[in-house]
Amino acid sequence: MKMASLKAMLVAGTMMATAMMSGAQPVQAQDWPSQQITFVVALGPGGSADRAMRLLAQRFQEELGVPVRVVNQEGGGGHVGQTYFMNMPTDGTVFLASSIHPYVSNAILDLDADYTLDDFAFINGQWTDKDLFAVYHELPYTTIDELMEAVRSDPGKIRVSVVPGSTGFINTLQLLEAYDLEADDVNIVTYESGGAARTAAAGGQVDMTVLGADGTLPIAEYVRPLAVASDTPLPDWDAPVLNEAIASTGKSITPLVGSMRGIAAHAEFRDNHPEAFAKMVATYESILADPEFAQLLADQQIGAEWLGPERTTEIIKENFKILQQFQSHQ
């Protein structure tokens, strides 16, 4: 081989290595974003997640100074959209803006997804459903303790309405476990929709329902709240948090939260471009802190809570363990 050719190869190799090293350098906050951002909604148009994320996209567009488009990739209980997102560039141009929980966890547990929770950098769960434990208003029970005593005294008599595979179903199983009761100690009546389950509760066809608190507000006059599956009380319901309600057992429960709408990035974006990721996080937090925007969301019955990456991830991982534990009951 001629010396000139060898030299040319070495120079080319050096240039290629330099280019590769340059491409691996973190994107600085001031350089991001430099092009259009895509929000992937892994559910259909018009739903709660879609409405929330489209409003958010408009504000991100104003704050970041680049177009932010929203695309729907529905199917497979979120799995189609989540897979689509995972196959997109990890440079901070594409985010999963959807119901980030429990859909991601369910796909991992039930659909043999190629991704894991660690492939996502969860930024915030801004709007999360919390389950309400409520009994038909004409029944005498005023506390969870009283209701569970009735279950113990007459196994199989108390009827509970839930949606199959829902958080309400699993939270019901956790409640029974806390009182050393079995699943068949109550008569669990399943309905294909929350609306049907609530109608049964409002009409007294069942004794208790365990469903999303916000969605149960329309039948509030027909039910008596006993507890909320939350760490903090809910403003619309005069009921204790679940662990306070079951204090007599000496046990505690990690409540399974319902649909959590929010945003996640690729873990590679967070790890390889930490300054840009931090800018995304700070922008999201400042948007939700804007009183006018928060009121806009409230007017459309959309939540605007800031949990942040650490707490959001913690909740999702805690709930993943619960889903895994009760997977055989699904």
Which tens digit of pLDDT belongs to each residue from 289-320? 999 999 999 998 899 999 999 999 999 999 99
Instruction: Count CA atoms within 13 Å of residue 285 on its CB side.
Output: 11
CATH class of 33-129+258-329: alpha beta
Q: Report pLDDT digits (tens) over 229-267.
A: 998 999 899 999 999 999 999 999 988 988 899 999 999
Q: Report pLDDT digits (tens) over 196-222.
A: 889 999 999 999 999 989 889 889 999
**188-211 burial, b if ≥16 CB within 10 A, otherwise e?**
bbebeebeebbbbbbeeebbbbbb
The pTM (predicted TM-score) of the whole model is 0.77
- The 8-class DSSP code of residue 271 comes to H
* Average pLDDT rounded to a whole number, residues 122-144: 96
Q: How confident is the model at residue 46 (pLDDT cuts 50, 70, 90)?
A: confident
Within the chain, which residue ranges are assigned CATH 3.40.190.10? 135-249
Q: How confident is the model at residue 329 (pLDDT cuts 50, 70, 90)?
A: low
Q: Report pLDDT digits (tens) over 145-174.
A: 999 999 999 999 999 998 876 788 899 999
At residue 281, does pLDDT exceed 70? yes
Residue among 119, 118, 115, 122 at smallest CA distance from 99: 122
Report which secondary-structure segment, H or E, holds 39: strand 37-41
| 8 Å CB contact between 33 and 92 | yes
* pLDDT for the residue 58: 97
| Exposed/middle/buried for residue 61 (C-beta within 10 Å: 0-12, 13-18, 19+) | middle
* pLDDT for the residue 1: 44
| 8 Å CB contact between 120 and 90 | no
Percentage of the chain beyond pLDDT 70 is 90
Kindly report the average pLDDT of the chain as a whole number: 89
At residue 270, does pLDDT exceed 60? yes
| 8 Å CB contact between 115 and 76 | no
3-state secondary structure (DSSP) of residue 166? coil
Within the chain, which residue ranges are assigned CATH 3.40.190.150? 33-129+258-329
CATH class of 135-249: alpha beta
